[in-house]
Amino acid sequence: MRKLRLQFVVLTLSVTASSCWFKKSPPVFTPPPVAAAPPPSTPDPNSLPVPPTIQGDPNSTIPPPTSESMPKAEGRVPPSAAKPPRRGNGTTTTPVKPAPASTTPQPRLGQIFTAEQFREYTKALEESLDRVRRALGVLDRKPLNREQSDIRNRIRTFQKQAEQAREQDLVTAVSLARRADLLAKDLLERLP
């Protein structure tokens, strides 16, 4: 029985202590009143504010002399001639001619390939360009719509860029040739 009473008390306390019995409404926030802004003063559109006075150097405002403001030279000015060599201690000096440009080629910046890498890249470039040439020969004989003609022109552009880049950058040339090859292969597969 004592256990039963204890359960009853606990149940009663839990029900009465519930937050829903003592729920209060949240406080209502009322913002402070907005102060009225003073009416904007409209300046007269025809009047400008008075500029500030600036103290400066009066010589800084005088323009530099020009050919019109400079006095004219009287007489003739002799044409510029080569100065005669000095005759000091009995020796004459002759003008020194600049050295001719060296015939050795300047070193190029770029990737350094082993002989095997160079052969592989060159072979890949030649194979791709050969396939592109054959594909362009086939494409030139077929009637193409506007989109297909644009793709054919893009293939030609990549081909020319690859041929031009061959001497400066072999890796770029191979990449461009592969792009042209892939575009040509794709276009040939889509044609009837």
Q: What is the DSSP string of 44-64?
A: PTT--PPPPP----GGGGSPP
Assign 165 to helix, strand or coil. Answer: helix
Residue 67 DSSP label: T
Q: What is the model's pLDDT at position 28?
A: 81
- pTM, two decimals, is 0.45
Q: What is the model's pLDDT at position 105?
A: 66
Under a CB-based contact definition with an 8 Å cutoff, are residues 169 and 110 in contact?
yes
- Residue 71: left if φ>0, alpha if ψ -120 to 50, beta else—which one? beta
Under a CB-based contact definition with an 8 Å cutoff, are residues 165 and 122 in contact?
no
CA 51 to chain centre: 43
CA distance linking residue 26 with residue 20, whole number of Å: 14
Under a CB-based contact definition with an 8 Å cutoff, are residues 181 and 131 in contact?
yes
What stretches in the chain show pLDDT beneath 70?
17-24, 40-45, 58-61, 63-65, 67-103, 105-110
Judging by beta carbons within 10 Å of its beta carbon (0-12, 13-18, 19+), is residue 6 exposed, middle or buried?
exposed
Q: What is the model's pLDDT at position 101?
A: 59
